[in-house]
Structure 1
């Protein structure tokens, strides 16, 4: 009886198979980024960083400089001749004093080119160029546009406009100044800014008693 039990204990095992024990180890996640995708992603990040840095630099520069637009006024105007013939030839003699103000504390302005034009009833009749100059910080400079000569006006309504304004005692003339500017910031010079100055002038008719007053100082509009 004891021998039977011993033979069963020492014999082979015929039970269900024991599953093999596997050893697991953590595997790093494989990158899903392909070559071109990684390159585009890095390029986008670089461009985004450059844009952000450039924006911050521009903001700092603006806060330091606080740039302001130039201001312009026509302080005096002398119209000694403004006669329209039956053939629409205009004889004119007009002289102006125009103050241009640079309100900036840290920006100087080079006026490299200054062109002046005069218009009546939307028709140009006068043209001229002025000498270049430099304008310092918080400085006011005076320019002197002058127009004189004879010019054929081609507008259909010019005769009607001229006769009406002459009877009312005032001619309405537009003067425009086209300029090319460089800004001087410390030792740097920035090329080129091209503002247009437009002045709508109300000029008393020479020798006409219907003109109730003299020329009044006129603020001009500066368009960039």
Structure 2
């Protein structure tokens, strides 16, 4: 009798399984379960062929971006971005949505956004806004701020985080946490030598 017969025997008669070797029985069941799940996952992948979501920052405007003598950053930043679900058979729910603004790897802005749903091949427009004042750390940051202000453009990162749920037919399952990182070059307020903002594709991480 092969291992499959021993597994069946274990399922049908637990007492006999214990007598013959509980460990061997459990291993056979576990291997069979893993193989079944692996085959099912492979079938689902070839049916639905999931694609990475895409994101682009279409616009970014700084009406205020000033650093005081005590390194407090006063800011007013508006961003327009598009998030797209390229999948033809998979819908996406975005929960716990948040947008973060960073300068020199220091977060200065935060905007919680509403949860939303994307159907197949749908796009969603998002408009996070950041305004307030936030201290920045380090003399190097202050020096780089002055350099970029003179050059006319600031290097600002926008991060977009969300917890995904996946909809397949009528079924909804928890998905990964998505992180979108957008590296922007934003014209400084009132700068006459600034390069105009260019739409920027973002990187998506899971």
> Normalising by the residue count of structure 2, what TM-score does the alignment of the two structures yield?
0.86
Q: Which has the higher helix share?
A: 2
Q: Deviations over 1:172-206 (max 9, x none)?
A: 01111111111111111112421111111101112
**Equivalent position of 1:188 in the other structure:** 171
Q: Tell me which of 189, 197, 200 is aligned to 1:215.
A: 197
User: For structure 2, which runs of at least 5 residues remain unmatched after alignment?
Assistant: 1-17
Deviation of 1:52 (Å): 1.7
Structure 1 position 109 matched with structure 2 position 98: no
Count of aligned positions: 190
- Which sits farther off after the overlay, 39-48 or 131-140? 39-48
Distance 1:221 1:185 in 2: 25
Partners of 1:82 and 1:91 within 8 A in 2: yes
Q: Tell me which of 15, 24, 27 is aligned to 1:44.
A: 27
* Alignment of structure 1 residues 64-213 onto 2, 5 Å: 64-211=47-194, 213=195
Distance 1:154 1:137 in 2: 43
Distance 1:44 1:98 in 2: 50
Deviation of 1:112 (Å): 1.6
Deviation of 1:127 (Å): 0.8
Partners of 1:112 and 1:181 within 8 A in 2: yes
Deviation of 1:95 (Å): 0.5
Distance 1:220 1:152 in 2: 27
- Mark the structure with the bigger radius of gyration: 1
SS at match of 1:159: helix
Distance 1:199 1:171 in 2: 13
User: For structure 1, which runs of at least 5 residues remain unmatched after alignment?
Assistant: 1-34
- What do you get for the CA RMSD once the two structures are aligned? 1.7
Partners of 1:123 and 1:155 within 8 A in 2: no
SS at match of 1:162: helix
